[in-house]
Structure 1
């Protein structure tokens, strides 16, 4: 097939099912819904790690976190492991980025010819305090992440609008290019702070929204690994009341609609520039958001709210209006970009496959998606394997979880303790250990993090070092 351009739009912290095209009854996402109608939506898409920096490092390289050792938000991608931007540029494909990348720094040799409005980990060091895991502090104190919730215009909102406008200009400037190009557009929404322009918040009345499911106050008992995370930093206690919980959900929904508006602006510029028929469009997010379920906010868990991501692919030769149940991951993006631009995939290592090819094939529900977590709030590693039927959580030193996501998409019923599922459980653990040595990866992560902590003067100094909350963006 003739090579195409690729427009790759990545948001931050967009829960996998919060799109109209995914069947959500409330959310308003007309631009993403139209993109899904024009292409294929993968309903079983996952992140390789439910936290920003490791997820983006895996996405950049098409390899898993334990392979590239970018464990947490202080150990970012620096270009030392070859990634798709380097492969594309070496193959002569014009490759540029606009917006958030969250790599180590703009000086890192990651392969882009130019980075517009680049956002990377703050000062090249990120959240050093989050690397203190061996042992981990009992608590980091009250969470400040949700102090601001409600109508307004944040620096993040202004940044996303600027990124979208710049992407529109870029597309117009390159409308006449003969050779294929790749443009990465990194938006921040719906990442906290949960502050959003009033016009979008007015779409959702907090009083009409249900409270998040499975709150511990209703008798739900969290898994011990999750409970330890909650003790480390209790976002739900900081949010406080049911009224603020409903407002937080409304603001998140509104940020998704705000994000959709920016995506719509970029897709309109693509269409107006006459590039629709020669461009593959990919939309996804780096991870999801727990959004109050189980009394947990932010990300960092193995449940689908956190590990699931939206994945839409549209373009020449890709089936329109299709929903594929093949499990896929952000590690598949690299192969997709190389295949669509006509580059040689045999030059790369990793578990990925082209999403465009997978979209054209029959659903492979037996394919596995993998995720892992070695970062802030976890005393031990957590791993996830999912096919089109079951989803398995392996917590080092603790009991596992197993969910039938085909029949129980909300993951309400843990099947791991049931004798009828012992064979399924054992099969998943066997497949996990064929992919990674769970104990060895946990030890490697802690050794790397211990060395990092010592390089900043030891435990007490490291706990005071690094950005305390979200990474700041350039302000005009």
Structure 2
């Protein structure tokens, strides 16, 4: 009898191991401060991104992926908290101080849900979830393996990276100067360290029969915009276009608050020259990150795991970098709330673009479906796989918020931005005005649209527990 039980147990373990091995792997590559219009194959002919182009051409792109908001100036904190918990913005805010007890200990974090499905989980790079004292604890507790858990941004020495360049004679800051630290702190550029970690993780995971979920989170292209000189030389500032929606200064201080750290990067008022310099450095950092992504993709191919791996690339939010007179992401314009969103893998169509609006945090629910996990009831985001199959229900409205200062709803045709504290509303016709230059809120021809968008905003605020929602 004992022998029969032993044989039965051995057979069960063998079957379980085989089933686990059949599950697809998941590689999630995450950028920071990367606007939607910063990949060459998606229309930006200024920037060079050959490896991201590999993903775009080899998979499906969601062209309208949004971050839904933030409760303080570090927009990435809110985005990443929503990503790891599946909670929408205001529920995520209310749970932030309880992430240890409500998520880590109850095994409700994203990687923990996949671990229950037999996945070995790996993390390196920028985490930025939870209180400053507990961030590393949360990351190390949520993932099986971690390396080089990074802070919110690579801080440069002093203030030399701010309020510059004032003129063409202002040459104090050099992105490749390692003495400024920032991305160079520790002696090696942080993007290169992350690629090192990714190569090592993949090599280790290749030795296991267990499927892996791997999150590699770049700090790039967040400022300080530092890259090796050869990448900076790829982008002479005088060859960089000034954005169509450039302004010397945004007219509503609720957005252009000079005390915001991001906004202090360039001088006030903005000049075309300063914006060209910042954008050239931004592109250099993106191209350098792209090269490290190439190393990670090559390591995956070398491991023999590529054919059974889903790869998803996106970012935590976008960035203005001179558009609308702004430098940061604390605003509701598309350059700051939209991000690239690409998925590659088994049965994923190649070179396909889908315009159905999604939230960037839909990546969590997507990977749960890939991994065979049931989506928990608290997760407010949706898998994108039905959209890829042509079966998904299109979100008619996307919501956005920034503290108690800004609110947004957008459809595929229009966007409404509200500044509650100063009683200002802006309405944009996105089909006619994709750069959001002309406010049509006072145009009688858009009166019905304005009323509809106001109703949509009120409904979204109520549904999501917005603290400014009216009863």
> TM bucket by the smaller chain?
0.7 to 0.9
Shift of 1:214: 4.0
Query: Residue by residue, what CA displacement relative to the aligned partner does 1:298-356 show, whole Å, maximum 9, x if unpaired?
Result: 211100111111101010111111011011112211101101111112x2423322123
Aligned equivalent of 2:440, options 399, 402, 415: 415
1:456 counterpart residue number: none
Give deviations 1:86-126, integer Å, cap 9, x for gaps: 2222333212211111123111376212221112469xxx9
Which residue number in structure 1 is paired with residue 66 of structure 2? 46
Q: 1:410 to 1:404 in 2, by over 3 A?
A: same
Question: What is the number of residues matched between the two proteins?
Answer: 416
The SS at the match of 2:388 is: helix
The match for 1:97 among 123, 126, 131 is 123
Paired residue secondary structure (1:271): helix
Secondary structure at 1:300's aligned position in 2? coil
Shift in alpha-carbon separation, 1:354–1:443, aligned structure 2, 3 A: closer
Distance 1:208 1:389, change over 3 A: same
Partners in 1 of 2:409 and 2:220 — Cα distance? 27
| CA distance in structure 2 between the aligned counterparts of 1:417 and 1:363, rounded to whole angstroms | 35
8 Å Cα contact 1:325/1:363 also seen in 2: no
SS of 1:317 mapped into structure 2:
coil
Asked if 1:252 is matched to 2:277, the reply is: no
What CA distance in whole angstroms lies between the structure 2 residues aligned with 1:76 and 1:164? 32
Taking the TM superposition and a 5 Å limit, the aligned residue runs for 1:40-439 are 40-49=60-69, 51-69=75-93, 78=100, 80-81=102-103, 82-104=108-130, 105-108=135-138, 111-120=142-151, 144=162, 149-152=173-176, 153=178, 154-156=181-183, 158-217=189-248, 222-223=251-252, 225-227=254-256, 229-230=257-258, 234-235=263-264, 236-237=266-267, 242-345=272-375, 347-361=376-390, 366-374=395-403, 380-397=404-421, 398-437=423-462
The 8 Å contact of residues 27 and 311 in structure 2, kept in 1 or not, is answered as yes
What is the CA-CA distance between 1:230 and the residue it aligns to? Answer: 3.9
Secondary structure of 1:344's partner? coil
Change (3 A) 1:430 1:83: farther
Distance 1:179 1:439 in 2: 38
CA shift, 1:17, in A, is: 1.0
Q: What SS does the corresponding residue of 2:45 show, helix, strand or coil?
A: coil
Distance 1:96 1:431 in 2: 40
* Max Rg structure: 2
Aligned position for 1:467: none
Alignment TM-score, normalising by the size of structure 1? 0.79
Given candidates 39, 44, 64, the residue that maps to 1:19 is 39
SS at match of 1:21: helix
Counterpart secondary structure, 1:117: strand
- For residues 221 and 241 of structure 1, the distance between their equivalents in structure 2, rounded to whole angstroms, comes to 13
CA distance in 2 between counterparts of 1:61 and 1:357 reads 22
CA contact (8 A) 1:371 1:383 kept: yes
Offset of residue 195 of structure 1: 1.9
Cα 1:405/1:11, change in 2 over 3 Å? same
Q: SS at the partner of 2:69?
A: coil
- Name whichever of 100-109 and 333-342 sits farther off: 100-109
User: Aligned equivalents of 2:438 and 2:80: distance in 1?
Assistant: 31
Contact 1:146 1:239 in 2 (8 A): no
Whether the 8 Å contact between 1:98 and 1:184 is mirrored in structure 2 is yes
The answer on whether the counterparts of 1:48 and 1:329 sit within 8 Å (CA) in structure 2 is: yes
Please state whether the residue corresponding to 1:335 is helix, strand or coil. Answer: helix
Q: How far apart are the structure 2 equivalents of 1:209 and 1:306?
A: 20
Cα distance in 2 for partners of 1:45, 1:440 equals: 22
CA root-mean-square deviation: 3.1
Q: Structure 1 residues 212, 79: CA separation in 2 closer, same or farther (over 3 Å shift)?
A: farther
Larger mean CA deviation between 347-356 and 149-158 belongs to 149-158
Can you give the 5+ residue segments of structure 1 that lack an aligned partner in the other structure?
Answer: 127-140, 375-379, 445-476
- Structure 1's 146 and 326: CA in aligned 2 closer, same or farther, altered over 3 A? farther
> SS in structure 1 opposite 2:381?
coil
String of CA shifts for 1:260-316, please: whole Å, max 9, x gaps.
111111011111111221000000011111011122102111001111111010101
**Alpha-carbon distance change, 423 to 240 in structure 1, aligned in 2, over 3 angstroms:** closer
Q: Deviations over 1:380-418 (max 9, x none)?
A: 332222222222223224222222223322111222222
Superimposed CA distance per residue, residues 349-386 of structure 1 (whole angstroms, 9 cap, x where no aligned partner): 23322123322226866533322211xxxxx3322222
Q: Give the direction of change, closer, same or farther, for the CA distance of 1:178–1:428 in structure 2 (3 Å limit).
A: farther
1:18 shift after superposition: 0.7
